[in-house]
Amino acid sequence: MGSMSFIKNITAAQSQVLTELIDYQEGRVVSRTFAQTGTLSLTLFAFDRGEGLSAHTASGDAFVYVIDGEAGVTVGDQEMRVKTGEVVAMPAGTPHSLHASQRFKMLLVVVKGEG
Q: Is residue 15 part of a domain?
A: no
**What residue numbers bound the domain in which 78 lies?**
21-111
Q: How many domains does the chain have?
A: 1
Query: Is the pLDDT at 83 greater than 80, yes or no?
Result: yes
Instruction: Return the CATH number at 26.
Output: 2.60.120.10
pTM over 0.85: yes
> What is the rounded distance in angstroms from the CA atom of residue 47 to the CA atom of residue 101?
10
CB 31 within 8 Å of CB 44: yes
Q: Is residue 76 part of a domain?
A: yes
Model confidence over 28-78: pLDDT tens digits? 999 999 999 999 999 999 999 999 999 999 999 999 999 999 999 999 999
Mean pLDDT of 88-104: 97
Q: Is residue 10 part of a domain?
A: no
Q: Is residue 5 part of a domain?
A: no
Neighbours of 103 (CB within 10 A): 17
> What is the rounded distance in angstroms from the CA atom of residue 112 to the CA atom of residue 81?
26
Element (H, E) at 90: strand 87-90
